[in-house]
């Protein structure tokens, strides 16, 4: 499969047949949370799509950036359709139907994307039509990675397409009229409101970031009059308007806007009191509990930690060691909330308990330590937060895990220093 050549999409669908969506059941797994959990690790929610969901075992590391983004975006739309309609893919027809629905969505929203260019061949099927749509929808400019706000706005609007596509699909099933373009405009206008409020919280960075917010406004689908009005919003944002909009919005939109707010404030490393107060106020207005806020902040930080080398525009803003310590503290706070559940999981894991006991008698081998690491990560995966969000696997060394999991969750005589040091000395990083 070569996404730079025509008909790559049909080949992707054929490869896609070999991979299934994760099966998640229980009250926690609404359709929105399934979509969020599946797509959050890809980075598309943060305007920086980096990788396909882990379930899709296709190596595209050597593909050009634009083509990688097209495939990630395609998978985002396909999976949203499959989750919304509770479809288990067992034949190619299910994927063809998803493609048809996506083409219908864009025909309703951006009919200009379906028009044939002067030198373009006529699309013979929905797959070729969707290739054309994706090519026109995805824009890549290398300089956008150079500074935070340009990187932040780099294709950030793509996730709005996913949200509105799901709403479009629901309305279609219910035989209701739904103006997709107006809905996207509404969502874009409220993102401008939100970001305008945030950049006005800090006068020092207001001027520079206002310029980049203007760049964002230019990338929206607003008409000239609406864009001029949006530019006025930069200096005169309506806080209560964004609060009212979000309080009446579905969960996935609340989650999306909250994480955009956290990322935009957090990216400058130093969070000022006014910014903290705004996030706290936003959380209260949205009826977001403290743990939910921790989850969203963890989601943002773990994504950046997982993809430190790829997220170029954040490297100059965040110190990796500071970030790693911060996410460790955050994971500790979350694990404390689920202490009883984690303790029970540890006690029921006989292999893990035996290894922990053994570590108190002699240094564990490299292989045994890796078994402990693997088992402890499996324990963390039972925590609802860490089920929904991606765990930064490579980051979770045994010493880090000993920091994340409170000592009182282990047997009373357990000394974590004896597990983490081959000579019984404490070498857990401070």
| Complete DSSP assignment for 277-319 | HHHHHHHHHTT--HHHHHHHHHHHHHHHHHTTTT-HHHHTT--
In angstroms, the CA 257 to CA 254 distance is 5
More confident residue, 78 or 22: 78
| pLDDT score at 278 | 81
C-alpha dist (Å) from residue 110 to 14, 103, 160, 206, 210: 27, 10, 14, 33, 28
Digit-coded pLDDT (tens) for 142-194: 555 555 556 566 677 889 999 999 999 999 999 999 999 999 999 999 988 88
Digit-coded pLDDT (tens) for 282-295: 887 777 766 677 77
User: Is there a single domain that holds both residue 154 and residue 191?
Assistant: no
User: Is there a single domain that holds both residue 334 and residue 405?
Assistant: yes
In angstroms, the CA 213 to CA 311 distance is 20
* Cβ neighbour number for residue 128 with a 10 Å cutoff: 18
User: Is there a single domain that holds both residue 367 and residue 245?
Assistant: no
C-alpha dist (Å) from residue 90 to 15, 20, 96, 137: 12, 9, 12, 29
Q: Is residue 312 part of a domain?
A: no
Is 56 buried (19+), middle (13-18) or exposed (0-12) by CB count in 10 A? Answer: buried
Taking the CA atoms of 278, 279, 282 and 288 in sequence, report the sign of the dihedral they define.
Answer: negative
Least confident interval from 4-8, 154-158, 306-310, 368-372: 306-310
Q: Is residue 428 part of a domain?
A: no
Q: Is residue 300 part of a domain?
A: no
User: Is there a single domain that holds both residue 186 and residue 171?
Assistant: no
User: Is there a single domain that holds both residue 28 and residue 76?
Assistant: yes
User: Is there a single domain that holds both residue 109 and residue 74?
Assistant: yes
Q: Is residue 115 part of a domain?
A: yes
Band (426; pLDDT cuts 50, 70, 90) = very low
424 has pLDDT over 60: no
Residue with tokens 């596509």: 165
Taking the CA atoms of 220, 225, 228 and 234 in sequence, report the sign of the dihedral they define.
Answer: negative
Q: Is residue 34 part of a domain?
A: yes
User: Is there a single domain that holds both residue 105 and residue 87?
Assistant: yes
Digit-coded pLDDT (tens) for 64-121: 878 888 999 999 999 999 999 988 888 899 999 999 999 999 999 999 988 877 777 7
**How much of the chain exceeds pLDDT 90, in percent?**
22
User: Is there a single domain that holds both residue 333 and residue 410?
Assistant: yes
**How much of the chain exceeds pLDDT 70, in percent?**
84
Instruction: Please say which residue of 287, 320, 345 terminates a domain.
Output: 287
User: Is there a single domain that holds both residue 378 and residue 345?
Assistant: yes
Q: Is residue 411 part of a domain?
A: yes
User: Is there a single domain that holds both residue 277 and residue 262?
Assistant: yes
326 has pLDDT over 70: yes
Digit-coded pLDDT (tens) for 224-277: 999 888 888 888 888 888 888 988 899 899 989 988 888 877 655 556 677 778
* Structural domains of the chain, count: 3
Digit-coded pLDDT (tens) for 23-33: 776 667 888 98
User: Is there a single domain that holds both residue 269 and residue 379?
Assistant: no
Instruction: Please say which residue of 152, 175, 198 terminates a domain.
Output: 175
Q: What is the mean pLDDT of the chain?
A: 81
In angstroms, the CA 231 to CA 200 distance is 13
Instruction: Please say which residue of 175, 194, 212 terminates a domain.
Output: 175
C-alpha dist (Å) from residue 45 to 19, 39, 133: 22, 7, 20
User: Is there a single domain that holds both residue 146 and residue 197?
Assistant: no
Digit-coded pLDDT (tens) for 301-314: 777 777 665 655 45
List the domain range (segments joined by +) for residue 69: 1-175
Q: Which SS3 state, helix, strand or coil, does residue 20 take?
A: coil
Residue 371 · residue 358 · CB < 8 Å: no
Residue 55 · residue 20 · CB < 8 Å: yes
Q: Is residue 239 part of a domain?
A: yes
Q: Is residue 318 part of a domain?
A: no
Residue with tokens 């282990």: 410
Residue 45 · residue 259 · CB < 8 Å: yes
CA nearest neighbour of 361 among 408, 424, 410: 424
CA nearest neighbour of 197 among 178, 212, 210: 210
């Amino acid at each position: 499969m070569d996404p730079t050549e025509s008909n790559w999409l049909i080949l992707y669908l054929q490869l896609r047949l070999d991979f299934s969506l994760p099966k998640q059941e229980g009250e926690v797994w609404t359709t929105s949370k399934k979509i969020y959990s599946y797509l959050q690790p890809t980075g598309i929610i943060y305007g920086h799509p980096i990788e396909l969901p882990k379930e899709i075992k296709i190596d595209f590391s050597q593909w050009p950036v634009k083509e990688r983004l097209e495939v990630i975006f395609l998978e985002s739309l396909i999976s949203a359709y499959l989750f919304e309609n509770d479809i288990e893919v067992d034949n190619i027809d299910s994927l063809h139907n998803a493609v048809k629905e996506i083409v219908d969505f864009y025909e309703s929203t951006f009919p200009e994307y379906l028009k044939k260019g002067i030198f373009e061949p006529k699309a013979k099927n929905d797959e070729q039509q969707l290739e054309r749509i994706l090519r026109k929808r995805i824009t890549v400019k290398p300089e956008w990675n150079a500074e935070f706000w340009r990187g932040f706005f780099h294709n950030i609007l793509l996730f709005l397409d996913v949200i509105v596509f799901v709403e479009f699909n629901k309305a279609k099933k219910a035989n209701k009229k739904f103006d997709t373009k107006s809905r996207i405009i509404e969502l874009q206008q409220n993102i401008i409101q939100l970001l305008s409020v945030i950049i006005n919280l800090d006068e020092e960075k207001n001027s520079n970031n206002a310029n980049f917010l203007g760049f964002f406004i230019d990338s929206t689908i607003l008409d000239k009059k609406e864009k001029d009005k949006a530019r006025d919003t930069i200096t005169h944002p309506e806080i209560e308007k964004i609060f009212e909009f979000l309080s009446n919005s579905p969960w996935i939109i609340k989650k999306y806007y909250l994480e955009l707010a956290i990322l935009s404030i957090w990216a400058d490393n130093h969070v000022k009191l006014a910014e903290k107060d705004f996030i706290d106020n936003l959380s209260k207005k949205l009826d977001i509990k403290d743990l939910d806020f921790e989850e969203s902040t963890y989601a943002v930080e773990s994504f950046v930690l997982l993809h430190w080398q790829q997220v170029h525009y954040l490297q100059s803003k965040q110190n990796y060691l500071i970030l790693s310590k911060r996410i460790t503290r955050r994971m500790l706070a979350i694990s404390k909330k689920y202490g009883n559940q984690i303790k029970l999981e540890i006690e029921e894991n006989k292999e893990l308990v035996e290894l922990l006991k053994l570590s108190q008698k002699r240094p564990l081998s490299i292989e045994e330590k890796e078994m402990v690491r693997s088992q402890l990560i499996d324990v963390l995966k039972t925590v609802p937060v860490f089920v929904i969000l991606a765990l930064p696997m490579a980051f979770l060394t045994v010493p880090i895990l000993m920091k994340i999991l409170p000592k009182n969750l282990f047997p009373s005589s357990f000394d974590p220093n004896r597990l983490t040091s081959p000579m019984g000395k404490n070498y857990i990083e401070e």
